[in-house]
Amino acid sequence: GNDGQSGGGDGQSSRIDKIFGGWLSVRINDHKELVPIIKTVYQWNITKSGKIITVWTLDLKNGGGAVYKGSPNTGKADCTLTIDEESAVNVFEGREDAMKAFMGGKLKIAGNIMAAQKLQQLWSEEAPRGSVSLDKQPNVSPNQSSNNLEDSALLESVPVSGLKCDIVFTNRMHEEPDIVRKLRVVFQFNITIDGKHRTTWTCDNKSKPEGDVYIGPPKGGKADCTVTVEDDDFLKLMVGKLNPQRAFMMGKLKIKGNIMLLQKLNSLWLDLQKAGKAPELPFLTDMMLKTSVIPGLKSESMIVELVQRLVRLPQLYTQVPTLIGFDITKDNKSVSKWTLDFTKNKLTGVFERGLPDKKHCILTIDDDDFVRLTFNRIQLQNCISSGRIKIDGDKSVAQKINILFTTPTAKSKL
């Protein structure tokens, strides 16, 4: 690997080595169940005065997980975190919040930012062992101000443009490493609505081993294939509902560069679906094609998030053979209504617009709180007790669907 040794005589880097080699190893050993959930290889570059002094790999993807010095044995990290040694010690010893360090520029994240969010689970339940400075008890509600930055970082990471492509790119693209591996090219997608350009996304599967997906044109030179397409057609293209060549002939998309690359991308998506690697895609597609996304609402993206979880919680279909309504509010006004219906099929719950009959369980929840609930920053029962979330109709259901909000995002692909 490319691991340097610290020349600093302050013992910071040896403290970091103790944290990685000691506490973190023990922690992973105690929480092997997180490996199939987090499914990410992290590389930590620890710096001093801007230079990397030591590198550690935290592999929460292969086997029972591992922590070792140096860069990943597997060849590449999904997420690389670069942080100054002092901040690193503070983050691991609980004196500084990781998201706060990120917002303050002390922690740089390359690769999958959502994967960095998943790391919270490693140190969420308790203070690190062997840390002296902490006398916090677990489950005490954390200090408000330190959490405000993390809270706004979380809320800001949710797309609210009303574009389906933003949700697809934010939620899906980094979940498909097979596509990155098999298609080492740079795609630029210019997304339009009614013919007017709305946004540009780049999928760069070339520059970094793990691929890179971001808003804006390609950072390094030009794209191998530039596609200009309507937001709805983009979604159909991505889920194999629209054949690129047919779409091109019908004038539904403009292509600069190699059209075969788009054809190949399309067939890779179809392969993924045939292999059953993305069981939620048909449900996701069905829902997203039926309705347009309401701009300005974060809950729209969260519904997509929950559809991805629902497919992985088939037991809910038997436990909750009913309908649940979500009345989403903003500034106390109802802005969107969803029904989660467990009676439609035997596989999974289905989200549809509108509220069910009043006798069913209906939860009234603020748009931002819906994000916090989805990422388990607030607890359903607590919010119902305190009145932060209002519940009407069949109240017994709330307990049964709690698992939907406490199941971490990327459950292993089936």
Q: What is the pLDDT of residues 380-405, one digit of tens each?
A: 999 999 999 999 998 888 888 888 88
Evaluate whether residue 5 is within a structural domain.
Answer: no
Evaluate whether residue 37 is within a structural domain.
Answer: yes
Query: What value does the mean pLDDT of the chain take?
Result: 80
**Where does a domain end: 231, 255, 274?**
274
Instruction: Tokens 């630029």: give the residue.
Output: 188
pLDDT band at 10 (very low <50, low <70, confident <90, very high): very low
**pLDDT one-digit tens code per residue, 107-165:** 888 887 777 777 766 664 433 333 322 222 233 334 444 467 778 888 888 888 888 88
pLDDT for position 125: 42
Regarding whether 17 and 148 lie in a shared domain, the answer is yes
Number of domains in the chain: 3
Per the model's pLDDT, the better-predicted residue between 342 and 410 turns out to be 342
Evaluate whether residue 1 is within a structural domain.
Answer: no
Does the structure show a pLDDT above 60 at 18? yes
pLDDT band at 349 (very low <50, low <70, confident <90, very high): confident
Evaluate whether residue 2 is within a structural domain.
Answer: no
**Where does a domain end: 111, 135, 156?**
156
Evaluate whether residue 413 is within a structural domain.
Answer: no
Evaluate whether residue 412 is within a structural domain.
Answer: no
pLDDT for position 336: 97
pLDDT band at 269 (very low <50, low <70, confident <90, very high): confident
Regarding whether 266 and 293 lie in a shared domain, the answer is no
pLDDT for position 388: 96
CA distances from 235 to 169, 281, 353 (A): 10, 11, 19
Regarding whether 185 and 147 lie in a shared domain, the answer is no
Regarding whether 128 and 27 lie in a shared domain, the answer is yes
Regarding whether 299 and 234 lie in a shared domain, the answer is no
pLDDT for position 228: 95
pLDDT for position 183: 79
Regarding whether 252 and 318 lie in a shared domain, the answer is no
Distance CA 47, CA 50 (A): 6
Distance CA 206, CA 187 (A): 10
**pLDDT one-digit tens code per residue, 212-265:** 888 899 988 889 999 999 999 998 887 778 888 888 899 999 999 888 888 888
Q: What long-range pairs does 332-338 form, CB within 8 A, spacing at least 24?
A: 334/364, 335/294, 335/297, 335/367, 336/294, 336/297, 336/299, 336/300, 336/367, 338/299, 338/303
Percent of the chain with pLDDT over 90: 29
DSSP state of 126: S
Distance CA 389, CA 379 (A): 10
CB atoms within 10 A of CB 275: 11
Domain that holds residue 211: 164-274
Q: What is the mean pLDDT of residues 184-210?
A: 88
Is 142 exposed, middle or buried, given 0-12, 13-18 or 19+ CB atoms closer than 10 A? Answer: exposed
pLDDT for position 123: 60
**pLDDT one-digit tens code per residue, 310-346:** 887 888 878 887 899 999 999 999 999 999 998 888 7
Task: Give the CATH number of the domain where residue 226 resides.
Answer: 3.30.1050.10
Regarding whether 286 and 264 lie in a shared domain, the answer is no
Does the structure show a pLDDT above 70 at 186? yes
Regarding whether 141 and 112 lie in a shared domain, the answer is yes
pLDDT for position 161: 85
Evaluate whether residue 248 is within a structural domain.
Answer: yes
pLDDT for position 141: 39
pTM of the prediction?
0.61
Per the model's pLDDT, the better-predicted residue between 57 and 31 turns out to be 57
Regarding whether 335 and 317 lie in a shared domain, the answer is yes
**Where does a domain end: 214, 243, 274?**
274
Regarding whether 291 and 222 lie in a shared domain, the answer is no
Regarding whether 132 and 21 lie in a shared domain, the answer is yes
pLDDT for position 27: 79
Does the structure show a pLDDT above 70 at 196? yes
CA distances from 206 to 68, 186, 220, 348 (A): 27, 6, 10, 36
Starting at the earlier edge strand, list the strands of the sheet with 361-366: 350-353, 333-341, 323-330, 361-366, 390-392
Is 26 exposed, middle or buried, given 0-12, 13-18 or 19+ CB atoms closer than 10 A? Answer: middle
Q: What is the mean pLDDT of residues 22-42?
A: 81
Regarding whether 231 and 299 lie in a shared domain, the answer is no
Percent of the chain with pLDDT over 70: 84
Evaluate whether residue 91 is within a structural domain.
Answer: yes
pLDDT for position 239: 77
